[in-house]
Amino acid sequence: MEITFPNTRALVTGASKGIGKDIAIKLAQCGAQVMAIGRSQADLDSLKNIHPSIETITLDLRNWQSTEDTLKNIESVDLLVNNAGEGMIKPVLDVEEKDIDRIFDLNVKGLMHVTKLVLKDMLRRKSSGAIVNVSSQAGLAGLYAQSVYCASKGAVDAYTRALALEMGPQNIRVNSVNPTVVMTEMGKKWWSDQNRAADMLSKIPLGRFANVNEVVDVVIFLLSDKASMVNGVCVPIDGGYTCT
């Protein structure tokens, strides 16, 4: 299935490494003009070295005012991928206020802020568009000692559904993808320990974690016209984890 994005501008958050980086590269390879947001200038420079056509924006989405100042005049975004996010493993009785603020400020509040700014431009131009929120299996199932992270991704999924309902009449589609553990460089460092990974793997019928390209491919499909009737869904990319 060939997918291209001619004359299309895409914005990807959390694009300096991992899944976001590969999404930005794939979109550029498919012909989109890509703007990549990340917190690390060095990592964004590395991304630009790989694909020089990608425009990079250094920004911490937890900072509401900086996000507003940087993106308030953003124009002609047709595709948005809200990938920026952070996880946390901590027993519920050890959770502090600062933990909740840190996770929700990025995973929920930052995502909603960027989406609002992009939608204002789409609606002003009366343009169709597509948004994909990178959620997690944690939004669909409970994960041990990850109550705050699960709550944040549950919020992302609820926001996805509500936004799809509100924006559908404007021909703007909104979906989310919900991966299991993904073998990014960070994922490999944490989950290559077989003792740590055993319990999670035992609940995945396919018996393995996801590769980055397996998430990227679904995101690209959902952004494309091939998914023109797909709206308001949360797509598990979890090898069957959430069906067990």
Active centre residues (catalytic): 149, 153
Q: What is the CA radius of gyration of the chain?
A: 17
Q: CB under 8 Å to 8, separation ≥6 — which residues?
A: 31, 32, 33, 78, 79
Helix residue ranges per DSSP H, the chain: 18-29, 41-50, 64-71, 97-104, 111-125, 147-167, 185-191, 194-202, 212-223
Q: Contact 164/175 with Cβ under 8 angstroms?
A: yes
User: Quick one: CA dihedral 161, 163, 167, 172, positive or negative?
Assistant: negative
**Cβ neighbours of 162 (radius 10 Å):** 12
CA distance 92 to 146: 8
**Cβ neighbours of 191 (radius 10 Å):** 17
